[in-house]
Amino acid sequence: MVAQAPWALAVLVASAPALTNGAAVVPIPSALSADLATAIGRGLDYLGRAQLADGAIPLCWVATAPECSVEDTTWTGAMVSVALARLEDPRARKIRDRVRTHLESQREPGDLWRWWARDDKRHAAVPTDLDDTACALFALGGGSKAHLSSLQAYRTKEGRFVTWTAPAAMEALSREAIEKRLAAGFGQRTDSGNDVDSGVNLNVLRYAASVGADLPDLCRWLSDQLATGAVARSSLYYLEPAHLYYLAAHAASAGASCLEEGLRAASPDIVRSLSRRAGNVSSPTATSVFTLLHLGVAGPSIDAAVRALLAAQGPDGSWPATPSISGGHGSRALDTALVIEALDRYQRRARAEGSRPREDR
């Protein structure tokens, strides 16, 4: 594969035809198929090396810092485990198994989880929360309607879930960072000193769908947030809009089909966003590709984005880190897993379709 600079994405997407209702034959060259398999394999090798001794996946305090100040978190491992869930490669299975062992070790009374793992010196800085809990249980394939019912105490009168189980127990530094984001207009403050975040609620909805529970009021609100683009402002903790659409696609795949209408309304904007990824051909591009493939969208713009992702892979098999969580947290390991997931999904579709005409929708 001939390496291309990250800015190549803008050129590739700009030169590709816009998505239309027509049909176009877009062949999948055998060389591209080989490139996909090689990139996925190199990415898995990197993740295997990056995984911490306890099975956690490292997150960096500042994603873009020259040196990674490692955080041991539960959320990162859960995200990576889910991203690799469909890969049958033994390397992916080993990474998932080690993550799940770590997640089980972090379970707290009431089947709750928190951001920092017990071995991290900041473990007590924040209380247990619904985001880590929902992500961990979904990754583990655990949970139940009975457990979900126990979380009803953390819902607002509008039916939305708050983030923290005990916000008063949060240390001052963490509270200060949250207050800055709230003051900037992200998320929603509650009267009880808690907050409501659309990304957190998407993950809770995914968990609820996975145990067969229906939360129609919550789903209508989230679908509206997706359709209008307001989802980015209603998230306090998730910095990248593309990641929020990705979370919604995962929730819909888990059974929250009520989100499909909002995702489809947002799909033209998601396609257009690919052309604005010139400086960050990593997880924002990958999660956009994943969401569009979930919606059945096909076309040269997606093919161009995939080629740009292949070209952006580093010599060590990783992809660049994206600031993903409030405060700028992120890591190459997290981005690499999200890119692998998108490439694998694209590869699966290519194998299923072969060289058949693909409809741009």
At 109 the pLDDT is 96
The domain tally of the chain equals 1
109 in any annotated domain = yes
Range of the domain at 299: 8-359
3 in any annotated domain = no
Local confidence pLDDT in tens for the 361 residues of the chain: 333 333 334 333 433 334 433 333 344 566 688 899 999 999 999 999 999 999 999 999 999 888 899 999 999 999 999 999 999 999 999 999 999 999 999 999 999 999 999 989 999 999 999 999 999 999 999 899 999 999 999 999 999 999 999 999 999 888 898 999 999 999 999 988 899 999 999 999 999 999 999 999 999 999 999 999 999 999 999 999 999 999 999 999 999 999 999 999 999 999 988 877 655 679 999 999 999 999 999 888 898 899 999 999 999 999 999 999 988 999 999 999 999 999 999 999 877 766 444 444 4
77 in any annotated domain = yes
355: helix, strand or coil: coil
61 in any annotated domain = yes
Q: Which residues contact 39 (CB under 8 A, 6 or more apart)?
A: 309, 310, 313, 340, 343
Residue linked to tokens 């800085």: 125
Q: Tokens standing for 100?
A: 């799940």
- pTM for the whole thing? 0.90
At 85 the pLDDT is 97
86: helix, strand or coil: coil
56 in any annotated domain = yes
Tell me how crowded residue 280 is: count the other CB atoms within 10 A of its CB: 20
284 in any annotated domain = yes
186 in any annotated domain = yes
At 30 the pLDDT is 65
Q: What is the CATH number of the domain that holds 136?
A: 1.50.10.20
329-340 burial code (b ≥16 CB/10 A, e <16): bbbbbbbbbbbb
Alpha carbons 42 and 313: distance in angstroms, whole number: 9
2 in any annotated domain = no
Q: Tokens standing for 72?
A: 């041991």
Q: Taking a C-beta distance cutoff of 8 angstroms, is the pair 6, 281 a contact?
A: yes
